Amino acid sequence: MKLQAMETDFLIIGGGSAGCIAAMHALQLNPDLNVTIFEKSDIVYGGSIARGMDALNIVAIPGQTSAELYLESVRAMTAGVVDAGPSYVMAERSYALLKEMESWGVTFPKDENGQYKTLKYHVKGKFQTAMDEPELKAMLVKRALDLGTRPVNRVMALRLLMDNGRVAGAVGMNVRTGQMVVCKAKTVLVASGGVSRFTLPNSEYLYGVYDYPGNTGDGFVMALRAGAGVTGMEYTQRTMLIKDTNMPLLAICVSRGGRVLDCEGNILMEGEVTNTNVMNEAFTKGRGPVHIQLSHLPEERIREIEHMLFTTERPVNERFFAGRHIDFRKQDIELWPTEYYLCGGHGLAGIRVNERAETAVPGLYAAGDVASVAKQHLTGAFVFGEVAAEQAVKYVAEAPDTSINENDVAAVKAELDERFTARNRDIDVHDLERKVRRMVADYLVSPKNAHKFELWKYWSKTFREDIKHVAVHNGHELSKLYEVENILLCADCSAVAGDFRKESRWGESHYRSDYPQRDDANWKCHVVIKMKDGKLNAEKVRVSELNEEVSL
Amino acid sequence: MNDSNIAIDVSKCLACGNCVDRCIMDNLRLVLPPCRQASLLDINYQGIFRLTAQGKMTEAARELRRCTPFGGFLAAWGDASASRVCSRGHNGGSLNFTGILAYLEDAVYGPAGRLPRSHKKAVVAGSDEATLQAAYSLRMGGHSVTVLSVSSCPSVEGVPASVLEKTMTMLKGMDIAFETTDAFNVEELCKNFDAVILTGTAAEGMSADEYGLVRDNLFAVISDDTQSPLQAMAGAVRTAHAARNLLEGFSVDYEADQRVARGLERFHGLFEEQEDSPEAAPVVCSGDGFTEEEVKAEASRCLGCGRPIERNMTCWYCLPCEIVCPTQALHVRIPYLIR
């Protein structure tokens, strides 16, 4: 099949929250800029928020909270492993973001005193600000398209292209036709989400995961191969959510008066999401499953919760609870641990960025769940989408033209063609994915130890061989194969980082049975992975303070 | 008829494909009804007929306009290739496509929807139906379009003057500029415009590749006398697609395989409940054309052969497909493993 060749000033990989706001903001700053978005699905609802959200998770409202207080809070929640600059910038810009979103028509409910409704989610300060906007994503997309963004739907980016150390574009493939798309660009923003499909969920349904299942670490892989660093890959996290659907509701229920109970009826949390680790602990110690109780709340409050759950965030909740005959007035909601996943939005995993959204590669930016702004949530995706756009606009104005190395393109094409046209292969791509994710759960999540990491190495090698025997019948299956390959490399990063960090930290997210103690003297630092000659190397990088450059 | 994760009420489905377009897991495909599969202009007759049967004439006309602004031409010519394959053919006789289109013809003229933003300029030279089709297809990309005709205004054979006039008014209302000239120089056009499409006699003697590309930014819709007007228009659609690719920064062949790219699949055959539909003979026109009752009765004979299907079993039960369905014909069931 022929190559599709195109050119742009600013290429954005991933049309989710971060990508779309970056496109919009770049065109506001320079209406003549050519902005292109590669979106693996369809841009209107693509990405982790899909439709709407119940809250803007981090807003430092002047007079109530501050960026300084947020910094304290996020330091506590990351056990000190967080760069101050990016988190501070995010909190500092969060109120302006809220005001901007209001100007789009997004509803932020206020109380009787005219104050924004804030909820406690962080250890310090009420940063979570209620929002009621079921069509948030579509609103944002419309604004980006109206300004002239060029969306290229159903195209999954595979590799970044380089020109003497700086980024020069990307190669992607159309997930339906399998056609390869080459885009030359002066600057690139990777905003393609975390790794949602990392281990298998309880339901064993491949796509029954908490975070958007289109996110398979594509951005981590591209950035690594281009020379950028990734960090926090040992932060293998899971959360407690609705049993089997893994849909979110904890903050929505608990911050409105819901109680979290263990199986003996002990109250673990009430009114505030203070410490999610107590739920995990109860569960692993055999006092699970834990439940959310709402039946003690007044009818009006239950209706408010139902409204949030059934309209704004995942409306399918209503169907699910009806199907299981659960009425919040009578029954509790059973919570179980979700699958493990890697994500900068909720955890620490991400491409290393500084407060300007820059990566170690000139001209390459990262934002959203794929970037390492710890626990940034939607606020971080939006703020750093805007930050990246500001930097990209400047970079385009100053940087000379790039050129694409034809040999690099030819190498990707040869591999793609080989996978697409080969016959007589017998491994089903879904089976491969299932097995990879099962082994990740077996060897790479807590309790971790050196022996497990050693055993993973065998499987990592074996799966790379298995990839050569996967049968591909259409563009969709070809894209699935690339996705599994990306999950595999992210798993390798997690293995290398997890093995390297010889201590335990962050509760269940990194517990090593062979190094069960937290060791601040040696390990209150980042573990950064870079790729050199196809090999992954881990190194310690110290945590940076405010007004200090983040080492990329 | 139920798939595991999506249930389609085939009696309501318009086969419009909104759900397929919006699915964020690339899970769905649209099985084309045979009429649309055979239609040279990719007309969604199922959607048009279903809406007509419900008496929603404005919506039916809007669905027709969404597919083509040349509904008036179709009403005059008929769409033989589409009506020939109608599944009712084995069950009482094909629907009267021409009659229904003629009934809707008055309501088909209207403004274009929101167009993308573009600074690019294109010119289409010629004066027949392919010219108009190419101009319209380019305009849908948001580009400014000029139609250049030698010595006379565009004319279309077999179409009443009133229909042509209304169609021309609509195209002008979409900001397509019409100019006449004594002669033009192709080289000049190529210099002054970002894309040039030659059609009809203007394209005579040209040789172009399979996408209609002659060279650089010059395209030609090559037609010959054996082609029907609809075939010539289909050629114009293909060439305009290639020219739009050029204007929008893609290579000319991008998504040339439009059906795969848009998630459209060939018709697999009728579903059981459709095969069991009671036989219904075509409604006979009492006068020159259908009355409202007659057209509703005739349109309601449509079996609704097209529908979305779950192709990849990747449902994340996120519901955009359901929300964008204009008739609530699609219901997401939660996958069994999750339910």
Which tens digits make up the pLDDT trace of A341-372? Answer: 999 889 999 999 999 999 999 999 999 999 99
Q: How many interchain CB pairs under 8 A, A with B?
A: 107
What confidence score (pLDDT) does residue A387 get? 98
- CA A143, distance to chain mean position in Å, is 23
User: Domain spanning B121-247: which CATH class is it, in words?
Assistant: alpha beta
What confidence score (pLDDT) does residue B3 get? 55
Q: Where are the domains of chain B?
A: 8-109+259-332, 121-247
Would you call B25 an interface residue with chain A, using a CB distance cutoff of 8 Å?
yes
C-alpha distance from A203 to closest chain B C-alpha (Å): 6
| Of B311, B330, B275, B266, residue with least CA distance to B35 | B266
**Angle A367-A370-A373 from CA coordinates, rounded to 5°:** 65
Residue A525 φ/ψ, nearest 5 degrees = -155, 170
- A327: CB partners within 8 A, 6+ apart: A321
Would you call B258 an interface residue with chain A, using a CB distance cutoff of 8 Å?
no
Stated as kind and residue range, the H or E segment containing B125 is strand B121-125
Residue in A7, A176, A323 nearest the CB of B263: A176
Tell how many helices (H) and how many strands (E) occur in chain B.
15, 11
Q: What are the structure tokens assigned to B52, written together?
A: 């007509």
Residues of B in contact with A175 (CB under 8 A): 26
Residues of B in contact with A46 (CB under 8 A): 24
**Angle A480-A486-A488 from CA coordinates, rounded to 5°:** 105
Q: Are strands B144-150 and B176-181 parallel, antiparallel or unpaired?
A: parallel
- In this predicted model, what pLDDT tens digit does every residue of A138-174 receive, in sequence order? 999 999 999 999 999 999 999 999 999 999 999 999 9
Residues of A in contact with B314 (CB under 8 A): 206-207, 213
CA dihedral B302, B305, B308, B310 (to 10 degrees): 150
Would you call A134 an interface residue with chain B, using a CB distance cutoff of 8 Å?
no
Stated as kind and residue range, the H or E segment containing B319 is none
Cβ atoms B129, B233 nearer than 8 A: yes
Count Cβ atoms below 10 Å from residue A479 Cβ, excluding itself: 26
User: Chain A: residue nearest B257 by CA?
Assistant: A177
In terms of Cβ atoms closer than 10 Å to its own Cβ (0-12, 13-18, 19+), residue A105 is: exposed
CA distance A371 to A223: 10
Tokens 């009482």 belong to residue: B92
Handedness of CA B294, B297, B303, B308 (dihedral sign): positive
Cβ atoms A18, A9 nearer than 8 A: no
User: Chain A: residue nearest B114 by CA?
Assistant: A146
3-state secondary structure of B85: coil
Q: Are strands A267-270 and B218-220 parallel, antiparallel or unpaired?
A: unpaired
Given a cut of 80, is residue A276 above it in pLDDT? no
Would you call A213 an interface residue with chain B, using a CB distance cutoff of 8 Å?
yes
CA distance A539 to B253: 46
- In this predicted model, what pLDDT tens digit does every residue of B25-84 receive, in sequence order? 999 999 999 999 999 999 999 999 999 999 999 999 999 999 999 999 999 999 999 999
What confidence score (pLDDT) does residue B268 get? 85
Q: What are the structure tokens assigned to A81, written together?
A: 């492993």
The yes/no answer on whether domain B8-109+259-332 falls in CATH 1.10.1060 is yes
In terms of Cβ atoms closer than 10 Å to its own Cβ (0-12, 13-18, 19+), residue A551 is: middle
**A298 preceded by cis ω (within 30°)?**
no
Instruction: Give the type of residue at A35.
Output: V
**Crossing angle between the packed helical segments B292-299 and B45-53, to the nearest 10 degrees:** 130
What confidence score (pLDDT) does residue A271 get? 85
Residues of B in contact with A320 (CB under 8 A): 334, 338-339
C-alpha distance from A350 to closest chain B C-alpha (Å): 23
Would you call B254 an interface residue with chain A, using a CB distance cutoff of 8 Å?
yes
% of chain A beyond a pLDDT of 90: 87
Cβ atoms B2, B304 nearer than 8 A: no
Residue B156 φ/ψ, nearest 5 degrees = -130, 125
CA dihedral A262, A267, A273, A276 (to 10 degrees): -30
Rg value, chain A, Cα? 22
| Of A122, A53, A54, A25, residue with least CA distance to A82 | A122
CA distance B240 to B147: 13
Residue in A3, A6, A154 nearest the CB of B26: A154
Cβ atoms A58, A376 nearer than 8 A: yes
Tokens 């929603």 belong to residue: B56
For residue A268, give the DSSP letter: E
Instruction: Give the type of residue at B25.
Output: M
Q: Residue A54, by phi and psi: left (phi above 0), alpha (psi -120 to 50) or beta? A: alpha
Least confident range of A253-267, A404-418, B110-124: B110-124
ipTM for this prediction: 0.94
Would you call B259 an interface residue with chain A, using a CB distance cutoff of 8 Å?
no
**Angle B45-B51-B53 from CA coordinates, rounded to 5°:** 100
Would you call B311 an interface residue with chain A, using a CB distance cutoff of 8 Å?
yes
CA distance B201 to B24: 45
**For chain A, which domains are there?**
1-52+134-238+338-414+521-546 (3.50.50.60), 53-131 (no CATH), 240-337 (3.90.700.10), 415-520 (1.20.58.100)
For residue B201, give the DSSP letter: G
What confidence score (pLDDT) does residue A277 get? 79
CA distance A230 to A224: 7
- B126: CB partners within 8 A, 6+ apart: B134, B147, B148, B149, B154, B198, B199, B200, B201, B202, B203, B221
- CA A541, distance to chain mean position in Å, is 22
Cβ atoms A385, A356 nearer than 8 A: no
Question: What is the number of alpha carbons within 13 Å of residue A417 lying toward its C-beta?
Answer: 9
Low-confidence ranges of chain B (pLDDT < 70): 1-3
CA distance A222 to A230: 11
Handedness of CA A275, A280, A285, A287 (dihedral sign): positive
For residue A533, give the DSSP letter: T
CA distance A243 to A203: 9
